[in-house]
Structure formats: C-alpha cells, structure tokens
C-alpha cells in the first residue's frame, strides 16, 4: 500500500514541477495524472499496490463535493439575485458547445468518394 501511495505522490510531485517550470498554465495534479497514465500505458497494467490505494481513495470521492455544496449555500442570495444571468450563461454555453462540437465533427468526418453533400 505504501508503494502505491508513493507512486501517486511521486507523479503528483513531478506534475507540480512541470507546472512550475515548463507549463505554468496547467495545474500540477492534472499534469501528474497524465504522466501517471502514460507510465501505466508503458507498463501495460496497474500494480496491485496502486490499485489498492486507488480503490481506497475512490471510496471518499463524495467528500470532494462538500466544499462546492457549502459554496453554493454560502452564496445562495447572490445566486438568487443573478439567477437569470446564470441560467442564460449556462444554456448559452451548452448550445455553443454542442454547435461547435457538431461543426468540428462535420469538418473532420471522412466522406466517402462519390457521395453527395
């Protein structure tokens, strides 16, 4: 178990170093996660110790939503006052995301020769 925890902390530390010196626009833990995934792909599997630690962490993922819920409750009066703007921004961003995704998929989709547009 200690070996799995050391692996996770090592890759998070490497991610923090890369974030600090090479890619300051990306968060260190995200870079560390990508490095860990790349390392696991090259290793062609997950060690038992790492799987044990990951399973232990995944049991407590629900706790990560507690700060967000507290923030929502804390700013509830501001959210109520700006509800129309918030809903408009959310709906607009969803529509723009779907439209942009459709345009990108259509642009990159391969069309067979001889087919009409």
Note the pLDDT tens digit of each residue in 40-65.
889 888 888 888 888 888 888 888 78
Q: Is the pLDDT of residue 111 over 80?
A: no
pLDDT at 113 (0 to 100): 72
* pLDDT for residue 117: 56
- Class of residue 66 by CB neighbours under 10 A (exposed 0-12, middle 13-18, buried 19+): exposed
Q: Tell me the H-state helices in the chain.
A: 2-21, 28-43, 48-58, 66-74, 76-81, 83-108
pLDDT at 105 over 90: yes
């Amino acid at each position: 178990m200690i070996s799995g925890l050391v692996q996770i902390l090592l890759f998070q530390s490497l991610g923090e170093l890369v974030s600090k010196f090479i890619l300051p626009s990306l968060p260190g833990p995200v870079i560390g996660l990508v490095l860990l995934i790349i390392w696991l792909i090259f290793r062609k599997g997950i060690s038992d110790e790492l799987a044990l630690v990951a399973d232990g962490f995944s049991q407590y993922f629900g706790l990560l939503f507690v700060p967000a819920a507290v923030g929502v409750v804390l700013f509830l009066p501001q959210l109520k006052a700006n509800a129309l703007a918030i809903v408009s921004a959310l709906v607009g961003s969803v529509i723009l995301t779907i439209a942009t995704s459709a345009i990108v998929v259509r642009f990159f989709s391969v069309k067979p020769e001889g087919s009409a547009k």
